[in-house]
Amino acid sequence: MERGGRRREAAEYYRAHRVPQRMEEALNALFPLRPADLYGELANYFSKFSKAPVICKLVGRKVLDGVGQPTIEVEIHCRVINYEKRICSTVMSSHSQILENALPETTEADEKERNDSVNTAVEWVNESLNVMLRDLKPTDQYRVDKMLGEYFTKQVEEKKEIQKKEEEAEATLALTSCTPSATALPGKKKATKPGKKVSVAERTIPPAEPVESVLCGSLAIGGTSLAIAKAGATVSRVPLYLHIALLKHDQDSPKEMTLPLPMVTLLNCEKISPAKLKLVKEVMLIPPVQLPLKQGIERVLDIQKEMMRLLEPPGKAQPDPQLADSKKGKAHNAGKKAPPRALKRISHLGCLIMGCDNLEQPLLLMQTACNNIGLELGTDMYLAINCAAHELMDYVKGKYEILTGMFKSPDEMVDMYVELINKFPFIIALIDPLRKEDRQQWNNVCRALGSKCYLIAEDAATYISKLKIGQNINIPTCSGVVLKYINQTKVSDLIELTGLLDGQRHITILGSPDGESSDDSLVDLAVGLGARFIKLGGLSRGERVTKYNRLLAIEEELAENRTLR
């Protein structure tokens, strides 16, 4: 009786879940096909009726980025068909606000802060976020991002509360320790010593906006959001770029997709002596839009090879001075060509480093390289310049130092750019030609050059959290912005922001941060979001080349699917 009762109970259980009916459907459907792997096909058939994968574990760990700086890797584990399975991981790129010529103590402080931030981020992922996101679907990106945003806001408020208490404690301590003799009499100011000059800017300029503080641990938010997006794409069995496009367009699959044009950095102009030019940070190549990406990259490589040849010093190398008196040394060095200085040094951006004496020098060199291999700038290839003007402002003089000892006011900078574009019309984009605070001059340069080239804000768009105000974009008048996936940025933030930029006819450029990792998700983000350009650095260094390889793979995949516009 007991055995019979169990059988009836089992039969009712399976009938309630429609197992016999679906088993019959599966067998009838598969018999005409007679698949070689029958049980594999049965497993595939029944997997359609299994529960959707859910997050069961997050793992955060400290790793190194492409320049050896610490960053965070976030790993997603899901429960899939009753088994825990590692789905994917993502490594966050790090971004530093420290300038190239910063003092050693500033750099050391930044490194300590970065290290502390990564340690905190790892702790957040392994503890709080691991518990908070458990049993959620990885495909539910907006819900996950909402929870991540609320968690981050809570951490910010806690940090503010701690700072407030510390300030109150310091103020109390100062009041109890101060003596009457140390207190300044009201109404009196400290006298200035006779003969001492006070530095005053030659012309009043808008002061620099305060640098937005980065909350210790914020990398955990961006890393987790992106890892969830990758996990969602994996369990949905679609490429990440298509998953992002579906999220942006409310699950409406795009009939065609456009690849972003790459801005390939060829030269990184150093700003230390003996180089005089300070204005140009990067000189970039942009292939024509009608050219397949693969051919465009090949052209860039051809130009790079010719640049290397042009930068080689003429004649044979001089012998080593230490071996000048040694016959053996002379014999050893005879006929041996020394590697040119430019080729010895590759920037962290993955391109050649070169010192220049004036603004025209790198442009004329690029023009010569193209002419030598039968290419014409303005037809077969275009240029973009990252001016990074925010790094050049002398706040005492109220002017930009564009060359060593040569300064220009914001208005003079506008005139200089107009002259530059008129002389070199193959320059189709200027990035950060001015500080974001010089809004009137942004208006002026856009009026003068807006029809001839893109005027793009990168430094102004470093922090996505500051960009959106209501339904408006908080940027100077410009053609578009460079967005970087850093810190607490979430995938849903990028989706919302690019939607606003599209609506206001601004172009979107997705850009690599300074401390790039080998994770190639940025490329999928750019394709899925419909970015006009992607700024990845040069065609050297593995962490940058892997992204170009991913872009080429997506081009090939879209061409095969006939969805490449």
Q: Cβ neighbours of residue 499 under 8 Å, at least 6 residues apart?
A: 248
Q: Cβ neighbours of residue 3 under 8 Å, at least 6 residues apart?
A: none
Start-to-end CA span in the chain (Å) = 69
Q: Does residue 138 contact residue 53 with C-beta atoms inside 8 Å?
A: yes
390 to 122, 400, 435: CA distances (angstroms): 33, 8, 5
**Helix 19-30 to helix 2-16 angle, to the nearest 10 degrees?**
60
Q: Does residue 460 contact residue 433 with C-beta atoms inside 8 Å?
A: no
Q: What are phi and psi of 337, to 5 degrees?
A: -85, 130
Residue type, 152: F
The DSSP bridge partners found for residue 331 are none
Angle at 398 between CA 393 and CA 402, to 5 degrees: 40
C-alpha–C-alpha distance, residues 550 and 524, integer Å? 8
Q: What is the CA radius of gyration of the chain?
A: 29
CB atoms closer than 10 angstroms to residue 485? 27
558 token code pair: 């879209």
C-alpha–C-alpha distance, residues 550 and 537, integer Å? 14
How far is it between the farthest Cα atoms of the chain?
111
Q: What are phi and psi of 355, to 5 degrees?
A: -95, 140
C-alpha–C-alpha distance, residues 554 and 285, integer Å? 21
Query: Is position 28 annotated as part of the catalytic site?
Result: no
130, 386, 444, 487: which one is catalytic? 487
Q: Which position has the token pair 């190398």? A: 317
Burial-class residue 13 by CB neighbours within 10 Å (0-12, 13-18, 19+).
Answer: exposed
CB atoms closer than 10 angstroms to residue 492? 20
The runs of H, that is alpha helices, within 125-184 are: 130-132, 141-177
Q: Comparing C-alpha atoms, which of 396, 469, 464, 391 is closest to residue 432? A: 391
CA torsion sign, 488 to 493 to 494 to 495? positive
Strand order in the sheet with 70-80: 54-64, 70-80, 83-91
The runs of H, that is alpha helices, within 313-409 are: 327-333, 341-344, 360-372
CA torsion sign, 391 to 397 to 400 to 403? negative
Catalytic sites, residue numbers = 487
